[in-house]
Amino acid sequence: MELNDLANSTGEWLRGSGPQADIVISSRIRLARNLADFPFMTRCSDQERMQIEKQMRECISRFNCGVELLYINLEQLDEVDRQFLVERHLISHELAEGRGARAVALDPGETFSIMINEEDHLRIQAIQSGLSLQSVWEKINRLDDLIESHVTYAFHDKLGYLTACPTNVGTGMRVSVMVHLPALVLTRQIEKVFRSLQKIGLAVRGLYGEGSQGMGDFYQISNQVTLGRSEAELIKQVGDIVPVVIDYERQARQFLMKEGPQMLHDQVSRAYGILRTAQTISSEETMHLLSRVRMGVNLGLLPDIDIPIINELFLRTQPAHLQKLAGASLNSADRNVERARYLRRCLNREAGEKKK
C-alpha cells in the first residue's frame, strides 16, 4: 500500500457502519506516550528527534500485528500530502505542521495510526465507525501492549504515564466520539447541550479536534481530564453521555418533522439541488449542504441517494483530497470549480442509477 492508494478509498471514520451510525460518525481513542530515555519534545534536540524516529521505525518494522503497516516520513511529504492525512484523521494538524524528524505508521484499513514526534513522542490512535468504544479500546490496548514490548515508556508509580501536557498525565487517554448534530443546530439547542457537557467535564471540539470549527455540524465529544481516572472510567464517562446526546438529536429531528415538515423538506431539497448544479462551491458551503442532505437521507426525505455516497463526498471534497484526485496543485478558485464538477458528476450519476 502507498499513500496515493488511500485517495480512492473512504476513511474508517466515514464508513457509515456500526451502532447509531446515523448520528455517531466514529469512536476514537488516543493514547499519549513518551519514551523513558528521551526528554519531552519541547526539550528534544534535532538529533534526539532523529533518534526517536529511527528507534520507532525499527521497532515498528518488527511488529507482528497481522497486517503490513504503511510507514510515512512526514519530512519528505509536501504540504498537500500532509493535509491529506489530516483530512483522513490519520495525523493531527500539529504533526503535519511540525518540524524536524517525524512520521506516522498506519494500517491499510485506517483503523489505527501511530504518530511519532508530535506533542509527545508517540500518539497512538484507534478509530472505528459508529458508537463502538469498547471495541476501539480493545484494539488500542493490544497495540499499546505491542509497542511497550519493544520500548520503555516514561511512567511514574503514582502519576501514571508522563506526558508533555499536564492534562494528559495519568492514563494519557483521550476518548472521543464524533457526532453529527444538524437538528440541534437548526433548533438552536446546540449551545445549551454544549454547556451541559462542559459542566460534567467533557470537551466539545470541531471536526478536526482542538481549535477547529464544527464544520458540517460534526462535533467531537471527549474527556478533558485523565489524571486519577482509570481507562474504564473514562470510557464509561463518555459512553454514558453520548446516548443522551443522541436522544436529544433524535428528538430535535422528530420536532422538525412534526412542526415544519415542508420547511425541512425544502431545506434538504434545496441543499441537494445546489450540490447537483453548482458551478463553483467552497469547502465550507459544501460541508453545510452535505450535512443537510445527510440528515434528509436518514429521515427518508431523499430516496435517490445513499448515506455511504454522502459520507464519501464529505471526505473527497476536502481541499487536499480534491488535489490528489485531480493529480495537480489547485488554488482556491480552481478547487471551488473542481469541487463543484466532482459533486455534479457523483450526485447526478448516483441519481441516474437509482432511477434505472
Q: Which tens digit of pLDDT belongs to each residue from 304-348?
A: 788 888 989 999 999 999 999 898 999 999 999 999 999 999 998
The residue extents of the domains of the chain are 3-253, 260-355
Whether the pLDDT of residue 354 is over 70: the answer is no
> Is the alpha carbon torsion for 45, 49, 51, 52 positive or negative?
positive
Residues 55-59, mean pLDDT to the nearest whole number: 95
C-alpha to C-alpha distances, 157 to 122, 169, 174, 192, 266, nearest whole angstrom: 20, 12, 20, 40, 60
Is residue 16 within 8 Å of 129, Cβ to Cβ? yes
Mean pLDDT of 10-39: 90
Q: What is the pTM of this model?
A: 0.91
Show the beta-strand stretches assigned E in 246-338. none
Q: Give buried/exposed letters for 214-233 (b at 16+ CB in 10 A, else e).
A: bbbbbbbbbbebbeebebee
Which of 52, 90, 54 has the alpha carbon at shortest distance from 70?
A: 90
Q: Which residue has the higher pLDDT, 13 or 97?
A: 97
C-alpha cell at 54: 529511527
Using pLDDT thresholds of 50, 70 and 90, give the confidence band for residue 11: confident
Residue 211 has pLDDT above 90, yes or no: no
Amino acid at site 55 = Q
3-253 folds as Creatine Kinase; Chain A, domain 2 (3.30.590)
Q: Looking at residue 135, what is its pLDDT?
A: 95
Position 305 scores a pLDDT of 87
What is the distance between the alpha carbons of residues 340 and 281, in angstroms, rounded to a whole number?
Answer: 6
Match 511519532 to its residue by C-alpha cell: 116
Report the pLDDT averaged over residues 166-194. 94
Distance between first and last Cα of the chain: 36
Supply 136's cell numbers.
476501539
The SS3 assignment for 223 reads strand
